[in-house]
């Protein structure tokens, strides 16, 4: 079992950050890995999505299911492709400075794919860090109203 966690402080209000970062349909706006997302309906428990991803030089269509949806603090997702099963938590915590976003991932690699675990971990960690940085830049950019000021 592989476990990864990455967090970022975004100087924006909780509701605003949750609105963008909780919904996988918005992932292509800030994730270098996710190219496109199609959903069976609005975000909520039981909704199924298909993410088209580009990772390790390969493209794949990844089925994703929303297991938990608790606005504005938590979304839990499950994704599965042959030999890789992933659980993902998107957690949101208000702070004085804005919102702490925590992405937690557990992945189980099986079969021959399990031999790539060290590469999977390095690549996933790198993309997670870069993607959360891009999410922060997007939400704190001039496209949105002024960021919160730390006190």
What pLDDT score does 79 carry? 95
* Structure confidence at residue 47 (pLDDT): 97
Residues 6 or more apart in contact with residue 23 via CB below 8 angstroms:
43
DSSP β-bridge partners for residue 36 = 52
- Three-state secondary-structure class, residue 133: helix
pLDDT (tens, 9 = 90+) of the chain, 151 residues, equals 889 999 999 999 999 999 999 999 999 999 999 999 999 999 999 999 999 998 767 899 999 999 999 999 999 999 988 888 889 999 999 999 999 999 999 988 777 766 666 667 777 889 899 999 999 999 999 565 554 544 4
- What the chain holds in terms of domains, given with CATH numbers, is 2-140 (3.30.530.20)
Please give the torsion angle defined by the CA atoms of residues 26, 31, 35 and 40, in that order, rounded to the nearest 10 degrees. -30
Contact 86, 78 (CB under 8 A): yes
Residue 115's CB: how many other CB atoms inside 10 A?
10
Q: How many residues are recorded in the chain?
A: 151
pLDDT of res. 118: 63
Q: What is the pLDDT of residue 73?
A: 98
| pLDDT computed for residue 151 by the predictor | 43
Instruction: Note the pTM of the prediction, 2 decimals.
Output: 0.87
């Amino acid at each position: 079992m592989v476990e990864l966690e990455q967090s970022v402080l975004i100087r924006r209000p909780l509701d605003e950050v949750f609105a963008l970062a909780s919904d996988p349909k918005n992932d292509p706006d800030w994730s270098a890995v996710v190219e496109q997302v199609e959903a069976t309906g609005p975000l909520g428990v039981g909704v199924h999505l298909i993410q088209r991803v580009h990772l390790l030089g390969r493209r794949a269509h990844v089925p994703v299911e929303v297991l938990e949806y608790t606005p504005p603090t938590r979304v839990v997702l499950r994704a599965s492709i042959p030999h890789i099963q992933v659980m993902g938590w998107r957690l949101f915590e208000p702070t004085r400075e804005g919102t702490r976003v925590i992405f937690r991932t557990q992945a189980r690699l099986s079969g021959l794919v399990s031999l790539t675990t060290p590469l999977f971990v390095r690549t996933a960690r790198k993309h997670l860090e870069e993607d959360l940085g891009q999410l922060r830049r997007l939400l704190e950019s001039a496209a949105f109203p002024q960021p919160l000021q730390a006190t």
